[in-house]
Amino acid sequence: MDDIVAFGTRLGHNMALIRRQKRLSQEKFADLIGLTRQQVSNYERGAVQEPSHFVVRRLAEIAGIPIEQLTDRTLREEDIKSDVEIK
C-alpha cells in the first residue's frame, strides 16, 4: 500500500512540475491531457493512486521523456524538455 501512495505522490509532483515548466494553468493542462481541472488538481495533490495509462503516456509525451523516467523517480526541472511541441 505504501508503494502505491508513494507512486501517486511522486506522479502528482511530476505532473505539477511539468505543468509549471510549460507555464500552463490547470485548466489548459487538463484540456491537453483530456482531464478536468479538478482531476489535474487531484493528481497534483497525490490523491490519485492508480492513474490511467493514457494519462501517464500523455504526460510523458508533453514532457518529452520516457514513461519510465516519469513514473520511476521524482523529476527535476532540467529533466523536462522545453523544446517539445505540445499538440
Q: What is the CATH number of the domain that holds 24?
A: 1.10.260.40
Does 85 reside within a domain? no
**Contact of 50 with 4, CB cutoff 8 Å:** yes
15, part of any domain? yes
pTM value?
0.83
Helical H segments across 1-87, by residue range: 2-21, 26-33, 37-44, 53-63, 67-72
Asked, for residue 28, whether it belongs to a domain, the answer is yes
Overall domain count for the chain? 1
Angle between helix 37-44 and helix 2-21 axes, rounded to 10 deg: 120
Question: Taking residues 54-82, what's their average pLDDT?
Answer: 87
Domain that holds residue 19: 2-79
> Is residue 86 situated within a structural domain?
no
Q: For residue 87, is it within any domain? A: no
Q: What is the pLDDT of residues 12-47, one digit of tens each?
A: 999 999 999 999 999 999 999 999 999 999 999 989
Residue 84 has pLDDT above 70, yes or no: no
User: Does any domain span residue 7?
Assistant: yes
Q: Please tell me the distance from the alpha carbon of residue 12 to that of residue 50, in angstroms, as a whole number.
A: 11
Q: Is the distance from CB of 24 to CB of 32 less than 8 angstroms?
A: yes
More confident of the two residues 74 and 18: 18
75 alpha carbon, distance to own chain's centre: 10
